[in-house]
Amino acid sequence: SPNSWEARAEAHALYGFTDLPSVRERGTVVVTHGEGPYIFDTQGRKYLDSNSGLWNMVAGFDHPGLAEAAKAQYDRFPGYHAFFGRMSDQTVALSERLIEVSPWDRGKVFYTNSGSEANDTLVKMLWFMGRAEGTPAKRKILTRGNAYHGVTAVSASMTAKPYNEVFGLPLDGFIHLTCPHYWREGMEGESEAEFTARLAAELEEVINREGADTIAGFFAEPVLGAGGVIPPPEGYFQAMQAVLRKHGIPLISDEVICGFGRTGNIWGCETYDFVPDAIISSKALTAGYFPMGAVMLGPEMADRLQAAIDPIEEFPHGFTASGHPVGCAVALKAIDVVLEEGLLEAVRAGAGRMEQGLRAIAAHPNIGELRGIGYMWALEAVREGKTPFEGDLSVSERIANTCTDHGLICRPLGQSVVLCPPFTLTDGQMDEMFEKLDAALRKVFAEIT
Ligand code: PLP
């Protein structure tokens, strides 16, 4: 009916990224509330959201402590900024806490409203430092194919996806290296170690071609998330960091997805055993209960920024809601929830069970690769070997749609179906996820093969 929530949504609201043919055909789902890992729509239908919203709702949709932390802070001091020598006590407390749980013994934190803005902010910091240091040409940014760093003009330029061509992006000076996906990008007969060595050699070639004095930084997700859950090949970050260090180029870990437990450690860089020069955080930073991003600078970067600020007495950048006291109070609580309510342990304990369950499903001949770590996994559909299916509606969309019909939300990304559930998932809920996914996969493959 024209008065339904769905019709009203379609008349007045726009989506991010959502005009998939399958969505147009199926219409909108209007969600009213959540419970644990489940969401409920206006029709009363219940879905297990194996995506944790967009990777962010790591404590599920009804954690009482997070809502209480927000309420208490709204009652005490509902909003403030971090400009002109003033900031809230919560902003101070969170910054201290973030550095305490960081890989460094000291550092500084700058707040944004999103992951995209955090990446933009750090790029502006790098440009600002370069000019102050007498190297204004140091502006180019290196990222990798299939990387996702956001949607603002700079972070979209870092996001190496063909869809950004419709905006005339990337901007000049954003260079995309090879995606570190061994299964897809490895050459015939090339070992994983040889693949890693080839990617490190490519990095060195690009630096030599462009000139180290023109490159401001290298940004990488520890596990590429929206690129289809791609863990790095063996020794990748060590090999890349050795090249970057030789040329004095900072390594930035974009931990928007990996940060706060997704890989089984607080940071993805901890899982892959490297210490970055800076960290980009968002999403699970507030367990998705408040929009917030953070740029975390390690000791060297914090010193470089301060040295650039000193002569002009400002870093002319900041958002109205940077360091919002409610966001900071929620983040402080979210960090406690992950670290002190056993969510990190839950991911560590559940990861093996998750892998085992998905491996059984991935035994299907039309699954080419199962990949992942912790609570982030992808199954890549193939016609055979590594050859994808063809057709208008990608097989991953068909699988995701069939899952939705069965009350399971999962995400189609390229040819892959992605599962990244909340860390609070019970064994029973995990089994429900496996059963629904398996049934949907079998149905779709039987229809198209
Ligand atoms: N960086 C990574 C690794 C992401 O996955 C995302 C979002 O999914 C972003 C940055 C952008 O964050 P936001 O959507 O909050 O702008």
Decide: 257 in ligand 1 pocket, CB within 6 A. Answer: yes
| Residue to mutate, 18, 219, 283, 292, ligand 1, most ligand atoms under 8 Å from C-beta | 283
Decide: 225 in ligand 1 pocket, CB within 6 A. Answer: yes
Q: For the residues 67-76, what does the mean pLDDT come to?
A: 98
Tens of pLDDT along 126-181? 999 999 999 999 999 999 999 999 999 999 999 998 899 999 999 999 999 999 99
**Residues 99 and 173 placed together within one structural domain of the fold:** yes
Domain boundary among 340, 356, 383: 340
H or E segment to which residue 408 belongs:
strand 408-409
What CATH code is carried by the domain that includes residue 395? 3.90.1150.10
Domain boundary among 307, 340, 373: 340
Q: For the residues 258-283, what does the mean pLDDT come to?
A: 98
- Which residue, by CA, sits nearest to atom 7 of ligand 1? 150
The whole-angstrom distance between residue 330's C-alpha and the CA centroid of its chain comes to: 19
Q: Which residues contact 237 (CB under 8 A, 6 or more apart)?
A: 220, 222, 251, 269, 272, 273, 274
Pairwise CA distance, residues 281 & 54, whole Å: 14
Return mean pLDDT, the chain.
96
pLDDT tier at 43, thresholds 50, 70, 90: very high
Q: What is the pLDDT of residue 79?
A: 97
**Residues 444 and 322 placed together within one structural domain of the fold:** no
Q: What is the pLDDT of residue 449?
A: 85
Q: What is the pLDDT of residue 194?
A: 98
**Alpha carbon of 286 to ligand 1 centroid (Å):** 14
Decide: 116 in ligand 1 pocket, CB within 6 A. Answer: yes
| Residue to mutate, 123, 257, 263, 285, ligand 1, most ligand atoms under 8 Å from C-beta | 257
**Residues 381 and 364 placed together within one structural domain of the fold:** yes
Tens of pLDDT along 241-251? 999 999 999 99
Q: What is the pLDDT of residue 125?
A: 98
pLDDT tier at 392, thresholds 50, 70, 90: low
**Alpha carbon of 61 to ligand 1 centroid (Å):** 20
Checking if the pLDDT of 6 tops 90, the result is: no
Q: Which domain holds residue 388?
A: 5-62+343-448
Tens of pLDDT along 291-335? 999 999 999 999 999 999 999 999 999 999 999 999 999 999 999
| Residue to mutate, 15, 55, 148, ligand 1, most ligand atoms under 8 Å from C-beta | 148
The atom number, within ligand 1, closest to the CA of 54 reads 8
| Residue to mutate, 17, 54, 116, ligand 1, most ligand atoms under 8 Å from C-beta | 116
Q: What is the pLDDT of residue 22?
A: 63
Q: What is the pLDDT of residue 393?
A: 66
**Residues 111 and 19 placed together within one structural domain of the fold:** no
* The two three-digit tokens of residue 49, written as one number: 């959201």
**Residues 229 and 315 placed together within one structural domain of the fold:** yes
- Which residue, by CA, sits nearest to atom 10 of ligand 1? 149
Mind giving me the DSSP string for 21-86? HHHHHH----EEEEETTEEEETT--EEEETTHHHHT-TT-S--HHHHHHHHHHHHH-------TT-
Q: For the residues 49-57, what does the mean pLDDT come to?
A: 98
**Alpha carbon of 150 to ligand 1 centroid (Å):** 5
* The two three-digit tokens of residue 170, written as one number: 């990337």
Checking if the pLDDT of 2 tops 90, the result is: no
The atom number, within ligand 1, closest to the CA of 280 reads 1
Q: For the residues 226-248, what does the mean pLDDT come to?
A: 98
Domain boundary among 291, 322, 340: 340
* The two three-digit tokens of residue 283, written as one number: 């999403």
Q: For the residues 27-46, what does the mean pLDDT come to?
A: 95
Give the number of C-alpha atoms closer than 13 A to the C-alpha of residue 9, restricted to the C-beta side. 13
pLDDT tier at 23, thresholds 50, 70, 90: low
Checking if the pLDDT of 182 tops 70, the result is: yes
The CA R_g of the chain, rounded to the nearest whole Å, is 22
- Which residue, by CA, sits nearest to atom 13 of ligand 1? 115
Q: Is 91 helix (H, G, I), strand (E, B) or coil?
A: helix
**Alpha carbon of 161 to ligand 1 centroid (Å):** 14
Question: Scanning the structure block, which residue is given the tokens 């900024």?
Answer: 81
Checking if the pLDDT of 24 tops 80, the result is: no
**Residues 129 and 262 placed together within one structural domain of the fold:** yes
Decide: 199 in ligand 1 pocket, CB within 6 A. Answer: no
**Residues 232 and 329 placed together within one structural domain of the fold:** yes
**Alpha carbon of 292 to ligand 1 centroid (Å):** 11
Q: What is the pLDDT of residue 19?
A: 61
pLDDT tier at 13, thresholds 50, 70, 90: confident
Checking if the pLDDT of 20 tops 90, the result is: no
Checking if the pLDDT of 377 tops 70, the result is: yes
Q: What is the pLDDT of residue 390?
A: 84
**Residues 175 and 189 placed together within one structural domain of the fold:** yes
Cβ–Cβ < 8 Å for 53, 287? no
What pTM value is reported for the model? 0.97
**Residues 396 and 255 placed together within one structural domain of the fold:** no
Q: For the residues 247-266, what does the mean pLDDT come to?
A: 98
What CATH code is carried by the domain that includes residue 89? 3.40.640.10
The atom number, within ligand 1, closest to the CA of 116 reads 16
Q: What is the pLDDT of residue 222?
A: 98
Q: For the residues 384-411, what does the mean pLDDT come to?
A: 90
**Residues 411 and 319 placed together within one structural domain of the fold:** no
**Residues 275 and 421 placed together within one structural domain of the fold:** no
**Residues 199 and 214 placed together within one structural domain of the fold:** yes
Q: What is the pLDDT of residue 14?
A: 84
Per the structure, the count of domains in the chain is 2
Q: Which pairing describes strands 411-413 and 416-419: parallel, antiparallel, or unpaired?
A: antiparallel
